[in-house]
A and B are shown apart, each in its own frame.
Chain A
Amino acid sequence: MRQVVVAGVGMHKCGRYPDKLATDLALEAALKALDDAGVPWKAIEAAYASHVSQGVSVGEAICEKIGLTGIPIVNVENACASGSTAIREAYYAIGNGLYDAAIVIGVEKMTRGVLGGAAEEGSLERELGLHIMPARYALKANKHMHQYGTTVEQMAKVSVKNHRNGCFNPYAHYQKEFTIEEVLSSKMICDPITLLQCCPTSDGAAAVVLCVAKVVRRFNSKPKVFVAGSALKTEKYRDESDLTARTAKAAYEMAGMLPKDIDFVELHDAFTIGEILHCESLGFCPLGEGGPMVDAGRTEIGGDLPINPSGGLQSRGHPLGMTGIAQLCEVVWQLRGQADQRQVERPRVGLTHTQGAGGVCSVHIFKR
């Protein structure tokens, strides 16, 4: 397969924009990514647009604002992993020689309130009120606490850390620090998960331009960020192993890397317990050690494995279709050394991870 480079990235700041259209947010992100890549619109051979509940053919509506060039446009929906899935589709298309350059745009305008998962209308799950996302994670949290002695303070520390990181990210929805006490005393959503342990409902957009490596020199001379590994998996019936662990294994194998080769991580911290669980499943510590790893400060920007230097979903926000692509934006800024106050010390390899309702997971590894 041909080597693929992330040539340019761009984002629209996350927040609440009742007066803007989703396509307006997406347009800003797309133009920034094109400018960053130095790739003219006419050189883009395909567009992938990821969004979950924005309606029909949003990708076409975004591209119509930039210019009708007749290229194939694909709309991608895969719950919280939509953005990562779109990146993967573009990556394989370019890697296999279908196109030389493609743009991937993720956008979402979220409705306020508790997020329901992937339950059909009229399904038993939905009728019983079992499908809501904080409840799903709360069930996992209580099990982990019972099994390994993980504490609510450790979970709160994830929120504290990610909100602190978010203060240095101009694209984050929230630039505000919180204390452990504030996190724990915020409104209880589903025991033991409090409001400040849930990602906010944000609007936002992100875009990346992917190019085949041999072409990118024509456009810019920025440090090259290569796609080293890409994996997408779904739940297996009665599978003993964890979905994230299985997906990560495939990504590590493809990249020829081990967890110890990863310098920093952008992972799916929609709820604080998620960061602890995924940190274990991605192989960064043994099962049950995710909590102590947070306690030891190892996941801070200055620690030995910074997790979510962008502020993660907790602070940047989680516009569903945007998230996987925003994670890649952060990885590129970090690997190029453009992350200012939240810069991780000289990273060479970054990993992104998203996991979504319906049992889908995606892991990508990028290297300089």
Chain B
Amino acid sequence: MQTNGFLFCPDMKRLKVKAMRESRRRPIKDNLYDLGGYQKTDFKLLGSGCTTCGEKHFPQRSICPNCSTRHLNKIFLSSYGTILTYTIVRQTSPLWKGPVPYIIAVVRLDDGVEITSHLIECNLEKVTIGLRVRVVPGKLRETDDGEEIIVHMFEIMEGGRLCAK
């Protein structure tokens, strides 16, 4: 378990709110991320960890889907992982408001949690199964009044800068 005293430090919170206002960026939902100072490297996924069976989940849950107990802690998840599979979505449902195409990937984080999201800023030909990625904040879309909606995305790591793990 990682402690998150950092999160509840009032000064930091105030700073974060200020940063958010200035940048006009906000996460798509509450309680998904610790945004840090909006630097890529500060961005962390908030998950839950089951104190009974040890299972970890993202997004946070109140009941463990593995053992159905309710004793869960808030934890930071690993920011690094490996692509299990991916696809390039070229035609999507009318409900999708963003641009196409977009790439989605299923990633197994180093702590075992599997999450699915968009891959950002990459050459389509470079994408393969097994590539190392880092979890970073990415712009999903802009609201009508120009606010950026931020979600977790994956960034392919260049050969020499692979995570040590």
Residues of A within 8 A of B (CB): 113-116, 124-130, 132, 134-135, 138-143, 146, 187-191, 237-238
Is A140 in contact with B91, judged by CB distance below 8 angstroms? Answer: no
Distance from B129 Cβ to chain A, minimum over Cβ atoms (Å): 5
**Which chain A residue has the least Cβ–Cβ distance from B112?**
A238
Is A189 in contact with B90, judged by CB distance below 8 angstroms? Answer: yes
Given contacts A128-B118, A129-B102, contact A237 B65 (CB under 8 A): yes
Given contacts A128-B118, A129-B98, contact A190 B90 (CB under 8 A): yes
Interface-located stretch among B16-24, B81-89, B155-163: B81-89
Contact with B59, one of A124, A130, A132, A188 (Cβ below 8 angstroms): A124
Given contacts A138-B87, A143-B84, contact A130 B117 (CB under 8 A): yes
Is A142 in contact with B91, judged by CB distance below 8 angstroms? Answer: no
The answer to whether B126 has its CB under 8 Å from any CB of chain A is no
Residues of B within 8 A of A124 (CB): 28-29, 32, 59, 151
The answer to whether B2 has its CB under 8 Å from any CB of chain A is no
Q: Nearest 7 A-B pairs (CB), nearest first?
A: A138-B87, A143-B85, A191-B88, A129-B96, A146-B129, A114-B93, A116-B93
Q: How many residues of B contact A (CB 8 A)?
A: 31
Q: How far is the CA of A70 from the CA of B98 in the complex (A)?
A: 50
**Which chain A residue has the least Cβ–Cβ distance from B98?**
A129
Is A188 in contact with B90, judged by CB distance below 8 angstroms? Answer: yes
Q: How far is the CA of A138 from the CA of B102 in the complex (A)?
A: 13
Contact with B90, one of A115, A126, A142, A191 (Cβ below 8 angstroms): A191
Residues of A within 8 A of B106 (CB): 139
The answer to whether B116 has its CB under 8 Å from any CB of chain A is yes
**Which chain B residue has the least Cβ–Cβ distance from A139?**
B85
**Which chain B residue has the least Cβ–Cβ distance from A127?**
B28
Residues of B within 8 A of A146 (CB): 85, 128-129
Residues of A within 8 A of B9 (CB): none
**Which chain B residue has the least Cβ–Cβ distance from A195?**
B91
Q: B94-118 interface mask toward A, CB cutoff 8 Å, 1 = contact, 0 = none? A: 1110100010101000000000111
Residues of B within 8 A of A135 (CB): 87, 89, 92, 104
Is A191 in contact with B93, judged by CB distance below 8 angstroms? Answer: no
Is B117 in contact with A142, judged by CB distance below 8 angstroms? Answer: no
Q: What are 24 A-B pairs with beta-carbon distances under 8 A?
A: A113-B94, A114-B93, A124-B28, A124-B59, A126-B95, A127-B151, A128-B117, A128-B118, A128-B140, A129-B92, A129-B96, A132-B93, A134-B91, A139-B85, A139-B87, A140-B85, A142-B87, A146-B128, A146-B129, A190-B89, A190-B91, A191-B87, A191-B88, A237-B65
